[in-house]
């Protein structure tokens, strides 16, 4: 099977996906209805990806932020290809979390799917996420992405949302759960499902612009 590399050096491929998403689901464009597009040039964002990621929850934020001028680095357990669970999409992990520092980034984005459950088994990834939250970086997690935040032990007393079937998990972690498209509590942004991507990326854009 031919693997299409998705990473820093394949912005055209990502933006093609981004444009297709806008055509297939016009509701994605709602991210721009209330806010003028912001220039994120000079901002650096890590996409934390692992085997079993959700393709749209990975590529849409990547394309959106690239379009705003942000620099994107896909990080994970180790460099190499990881496959989406819901399609034949392959994403190239450019750097291991051991090769980067939280201080290299202004924000990290944690897509959902099965990736977070796989990544939380790796202490170096959990430590990276914890360091980002404690370092006051913007940390945005969608769908099952909050599983990594729970593993990092940073959700006590936080308001958050997530994929509905893991609501009990996030409540048990001490979070105040609400079934809404997006919640921002300080430097943590959470969303539920792909239909919430417009609110999710708009919140990331806003946070990076502050």
Q: DSSP secondary structure string, 176-195?
A: EE--SSEEEETTEEEE-SGG
- Strand 138-142 to 107-110 pairing: parallel
Q: Percent of the chain scored above 70 by pLDDT?
A: 83
Looking at residue 155, its pLDDT comes to 98
Residue 127's nearest CA partner among 191, 182, 75, 174 is: 75
Domain locations along the chain: 11-209
pLDDT tens figures, 48-64: 999 999 999 999 999 99
So what CATH class is 11-209? alpha beta
pLDDT(2) > 80 = no
Q: How far is CA 136 from CA 17, 39, 65, 153, 186, in A?
A: 31, 21, 19, 15, 9
Please count the residues of the chain: 210
pLDDT tens figures, 69-107: 999 999 999 999 999 999 999 999 999 999 999 999 999
- Enter the pTM of the model: 0.87
Q: Which range among 10-24, 34-48, 159-173 has the greatest average pLDDT?
A: 159-173
Looking at residue 37, its pLDDT comes to 85
Q: How far is CA 205 from CA 67, 115, 144, 183, in A?
A: 11, 23, 21, 14
Catalytic residues: 144
CA distance 122 to 119: 6
- Strand 159-160 to 95-96 pairing: unpaired
CA distance 46 to 175: 24
Looking at residue 36, its pLDDT comes to 74
């Amino acid at each position: 099977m031919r693997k299409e590399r998705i990473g820093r050096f394949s912005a055209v491929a990502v933006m093609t996906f981004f444009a297709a998403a806008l055509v297939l689901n016009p509701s994605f464009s709602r991210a721009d209805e209330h806010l003028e597009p912001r220039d994120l040039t000079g901002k650096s964002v890590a996409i934390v990806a692992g085997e079993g990621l959700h393709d749209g929850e990975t590529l849409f934020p990547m394309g959106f932020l690239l379009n705003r001028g942000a620099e994107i680095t896909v990080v994970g357990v180790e460099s190499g290809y990881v496959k989406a669970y819901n399609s034949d999409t392959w994403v190239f992990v450019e750097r291991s979390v051991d090769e980067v520092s939280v201080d290299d980034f202004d924000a990290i984005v944690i897509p959902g799917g099965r990736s977070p459950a796989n990544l939380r088994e790796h202490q170096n990834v959990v430590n990276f996420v914890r360091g980002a939250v404690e370092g006051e970086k913007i940390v945005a997690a969608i769908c099952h992405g909050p599983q990594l935040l729970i593993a990092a032990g940073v959700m006590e007393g936080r308001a958050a949302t997530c994929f509905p079937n893991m609501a009990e998990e996030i409540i048990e972690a001490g979070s105040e759960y609400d079934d809404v498209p997006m919640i921002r509590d300080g430097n943590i942004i959470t969303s539920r499902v792909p239909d919430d991507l417009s609110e999710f990326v708009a919140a990331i854009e806003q946070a990076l612009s502050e």
